[in-house]
Chains A and B, each alone.
Chain A
Amino acid sequence: MSALSLLLSPLARLGAAVLGLCAATGRIAIFAGQTVSHLARPPFYTREFLHALFQIGWLSLPVVGLTALFTGGALALQIYAGGARFNAEAVVPSIVAIGMVRELGPVLGGLMVAARVASSIAAEIGTMKVTEQIDALTTLSTHPMKYLTLPRVLAATLAVPVLVAVGDAIGIMGGYLVGIARLDFNSAAYLRNTVDFLEPWDVTSGLIKGAAFGFIIALMGCYYGMNSARGAQGVGRATKAAVVAASVMILAANYLLTEVFFSA
């Protein structure tokens, strides 16, 4: 190998990686567009949608609730310890509430749902692909995107904001429990501080983030499932890729939405 090609080889690899990333982004964008376009075209599979709503929404409630409870408690301890450095311990209730509803509720809730739901959707659809169930759907005059993708994406887009709202409330409650049990806050004062400093937009922005994260989670699960390679290894890779992609996209989307909602 010549010196020049040795010198250029890392650049070529970098270029190939960038091109690969652009191509994957394009494919995901087309997949998302096709999914949304099916919303306007009948038939709509209500039973599949309700089933997905139950699987994604109801069954994710324990994991989201527990995550929020412990996060709220830890947040109260951290803010109290940090606030004590400049005699600002009293801000604990308001910072816990704002931190939960604006950031930690949607992001941690989204990441927990991504781990639980994106993996399960990718594994289920990936297995359907390798066992020819998706081909079978087509031969039975049923569009796989209408039957599998749209109900899941719609259900996740609607269910995750509700999970975020429940998670917000439980997280604030976690902070409250730690506040009165460990940090000697007065119960009524803690609650008053929480409510007084919380604005409607704090809550609404978190719910909008939740809807965006729900869309991303189900879309990644469906995309990687539908494009799963053959065999157990192929399904395993699709599952892993779905969780990684959904998690990274949630964090990136969170930054972008925070810029849009709160930049001065």
Chain B
Amino acid sequence: MIELHDVHKAFGANRVLRGVNLTIPKGESMVIIGGSGTGKSIALKSILGLVKPDQGQIIVDGQDVDKADRDAFLARFGMLFQGGALFDSLPVWQNVAFRLTRGTLKRPKSEAREIAIEKLRRVGLKPDVADRFPAELSGGMQKRVGLARAIAAEPEIIFFDEPTTGLDPIMSGVINDLIREIVVEMGATAMTITHDMSSVRAIADRVAMLHDGVIKWTGPVAEMDASGDPYLDQFIHGRATGPIEAVR
């Protein structure tokens, strides 16, 4: 279980997070929605320790993340970055098996390569992709490789940052379905940030709406459409008018 208690983060005068409180139960898929620049990525990066909150507490399975052993803590996570964040200098299989070729999870090279190819197959890529470089792949293939890397070490918790950004609707659907299947199959706790409503409906067990640095609404995805929350309603229906100010 992941718990955020009163998490604040500011960059100069810009107060991005203003007291985020959120609980993600173990084994559930939580999707955080909200407009651009509302702090979704900062919330996610705060949990991973990539950004240090100014105030508040983040607890993962009862342990304060500030006090956890960093390597052991990060070994429990997998993450799919918005742009893939694949390492240009490494072939695909070494990207996927990055964690398995160094550190505490290190395996023999041949075994790491085999696992990488198996994970590539799991995300719908053929083994011949393994020796290609990221720059030789399309956007959709790069997302799949990123997904394969996120699941390569069988993490307990997986984060997805804008998984369908830059993809066509069909490829978005494919990635959404893959994420859902993999999360269910692995029994992992998942946290996704997106503003793509088709992703929300495909991936989420629960949804949280972040606006103005706080969680405005959270609940099961099935209750999202009938929430009665004006912020959530405006967002999911994509209305230009409402409590969320739209700059024209």
Contacts and interface: CB of A to CB of B under 8 A. Distances in A.
Interface string A123-156: 0000010011101101111100000000000000
Interface in B94-127: 98-99, 102-105
Given A133-B87, A135-B45, A136-B87, A141 B81 contact: no
Nearest to A147: B102
Contacts of B48: 138-139
Contacts of B98: 140, 142
A110 B48 CA distance: 40
A141 B99 contact: yes
A232 to B, nearest CB: 14
Contacts of A133: 85-88
B103 A131 contact: no
Contacts of A45: 102
**Chain B interface SS verdict (over half):** mixed
A140 B97 CA distance: 10
B75 interface: yes
B81 A135 contact: yes
Given A43-B102, A140-B98, A131 B74 contact: no
B83 interface: yes
Given A135-B50, A135-B81, A136-B81, A141 B103 contact: yes
A141 B71 CA distance: 6
A139 B75 contact: no
A138 B48 CA distance: 9
Given A135-B45, A135-B50, A140 B83 contact: no
Contacts of B85: 131-133, 135-136
B77 A139 contact: yes
B79 interface: yes
B82 interface: yes
A156 to B, nearest CB: 18
Interface string B184-199: 0000000000000000
Contact of A132 (B74, B77, B83): B83
Contacts of A132: 81-83, 85
7 contacts: A132-B83, A133-B85, A135-B45, A136-B79, A139-B74, A141-B74, A141-B104
Given A132-B85, A139-B50, 18 more contacts: A45-B102, A131-B85, A132-B81, A133-B85, A135-B45, A135-B81, A135-B85, A136-B85, A136-B87, A138-B48, A138-B49, A138-B74, A139-B78, A140-B149, A141-B99, A141-B103, A141-B105, A142-B103
Which 3 pairs, one residue from A and one from B, show the smallest C-beta to C-beta distance? A136-B85, A132-B85, A141-B74
